Amino acid sequence: MKQAATGVELRRELGRWAAGSIVVGTVIGSGIFLVPRAMVQRVGTPGMVFAVWIFGGLLSLAGSLSYSELAAAMPEAGGEYVYLREAYGPLWGFLYSWTQMWVAKSGSIATLATGFFYYLTNFFPSLDRVFYTVRLPLGPGGGFLEFRYGQFFAMALVMGLAGLNYFGVKLGGEVQVAVTVVKIALICFIIMVGLGFGKSHGLPAQSAVPLTGAGFFAALVAALWAYDGWNNVSMVASEVRHPQRNLPLALIWGTGAVIAIYLLANAAYFHVLTASEVGASPRVAAEMMRRILGEPGAEAVSISAMISIFAALNGSILTGSRVPFAAARDGLFFKAVGRINVHYNTPAVSIFAMSAWAALLVLSGRYEQLFTYVIFASWILYGMTAAAVIILRRRRPDLERPYHTWGYPWVPVVFVCVALALILSTLIDSPRESLMGIALIVLGLPFYFYWKNA
């Protein structure tokens, strides 16, 4: 491995609260406000929606338990890049960094930015106006590619947060803590209004949708998009103070807090709205608050959603940019991406490179197409990373492990099995988006051999 020759390194300036805020703040983005609609359309009843949320939450917790062992043992920049490199060799670490750069993390940032402008249209409807159409099958679902004014606002937001993170990880972490506290308070307010002041519809749960395995896994994809990001703090492990203690705490307790918040939010939604109303509303939380407080309630949800997305965007840019940086430091990506700014000790080129590509992806499609695209690519490598816990126990028994995965080996085994089932189901249910994700991963192979031999 080719390490960059420089005396400038990243600094450990993120404390326990910043690490926890990266987990909670990055996970809770736009998903909880938008995906219940897609979930109920797939499984039909509130009871099944809750089952999917619980299953997805426990799966994410199993991932957090597995990642905690790896993060505490190898607290380096890049997260999964490091774990896959050590367990399977540099090719798999590279493919992870390649996927994060071009598909998974950049696509996640683009999806969050799309969700931000989606809510901003409540106040400025003209942002959703199509001003130009490319009459070629390049858009979502193979349709025409449409450009909206709001997409350019979303692109500017991404680049603005890239600029903020350029000025130091400490500043980015402080912003993350502050915005995460505000957004949790606002979401708790929405939950209390729904459960405390909302009038129950009192109708029995009826399903017009037959429950199928494909429907369950399609709903699970939506739920896992809402849970996605629990692993992000591992990417910035080289900048977390006392990582052997703070990383497992942030991963496990942060994921547990998100599960509780999501279940309470859905309890509020289904307390006020019927399953058919949830399935018909693209903005479920806003519709619930409109029933109780009128238009001011719906507008309060839009503001809460945008603050929530802002925190998730900041956390995603802060952490995701460390993955191509780590690959570049090993000589497996563009050399400039591995540079550290001498004034602010940040991977400045990597921050702006990933953000610029994510901004371009904003033009590629709408919300549901983007999260399917992101989840499929991510879970191929999530499953391999969880399996790395078992592989490294056998291959490197001498590795110091300050934390051992609870429930080993069954927790990582279950995670890997469900990840495999999810990947196969998504490939069948959304073949276009899935095949695009696979193609972009495979496209990295010639670049790997070029950089390896350079």
Per-residue tokens: 30 = 């736009």
The pLDDT value given to residue 1: 44
Q: Which H or E element spans position 130? A: strand 130-134
Give residue 324's Cα distance to chain centre. Answer: 17
Helices (DSSP H) in 228-242: which residue ranges?
none
Q: Which of 94-98, 211-215, 391-395, 439-443 has the lowest mean pLDDT?
A: 211-215
**What is the Cα–Cα distance from 230 to 259, expressed in whole angstroms?**
11
Percentage of the chain beyond pLDDT 70 is 92
Q: Which residues contact 260 (CB under 8 A, 6 or more apart)?
A: none
Average pLDDT over residues 182-193: 94
Question: What are 297-311's pLDDT values in tens digits?
Answer: 988 988 998 999 999
Q: Are residues 275 and 206 in contact, defined by beta-carbon separation less than 8 angstroms? A: yes
214, 118, 50, 109: CA torsion to nearest 10:
70
Question: What are 317-350's pLDDT values in tens digits?
Answer: 999 999 999 999 999 999 999 999 999 999 999 9
pTM of the entire predicted model: 0.88
Question: What are 9-51's pLDDT values in tens digits?
Answer: 899 999 999 999 999 999 998 788 878 988 998 888 899 999 9
Q: 410 burial class (0-12, 13-18, 19+ CB within 10 angstroms)?
A: exposed
Q: Is the pLDDT of residue 3 over 50?
A: no
Average pLDDT over residues 163-185: 94
Write down all domains in the chain, each with its CATH number in brackets. Answer: 16-453 (1.20.1740.10)
* CB neighbourhood size of 185 (10 A): 11
CA 139, 145, 146, 151 torsion: positive or negative?
Answer: positive
Q: Is the pLDDT of residue 5 over 70?
A: no
**What is the Cα–Cα distance from 297 to 190, expressed in whole angstroms?**
9
Average pLDDT over residues 254-260: 95
Q: Which of 27-41, 135-149, 253-267 has the lowest mean pLDDT?
A: 135-149
Q: Are residues 209 and 42 in contact, defined by beta-carbon separation less than 8 angstroms? A: yes
Phi, psi of 397 (to 5 degrees): -65, -20
User: DSSP labels for 294-314?
Assistant: -HHHHHHHHHHHHHHHHHHHH
Q: Which H or E element spans position 222? A: helix 213-227
- Quickly state the pLDDT bin for 374 (edges 50, 70, 90): low
Nearest by Cα to 321 from 236, 385, 255: 236
Q: Is the pLDDT of residue 436 over 90?
A: no
Question: What are 230-252's pLDDT values in tens digits?
Answer: 999 999 999 999 999 999 999 99
Asked if omega into 431 is within 30° of 0 (cis), the reply is no
Question: What are 311-325's pLDDT values in tens digits?
Answer: 999 999 999 999 999
Helices (DSSP H) in 321-366: which residue ranges?
322-329, 348-361
Give residue 314's Cα distance to chain centre. Answer: 12
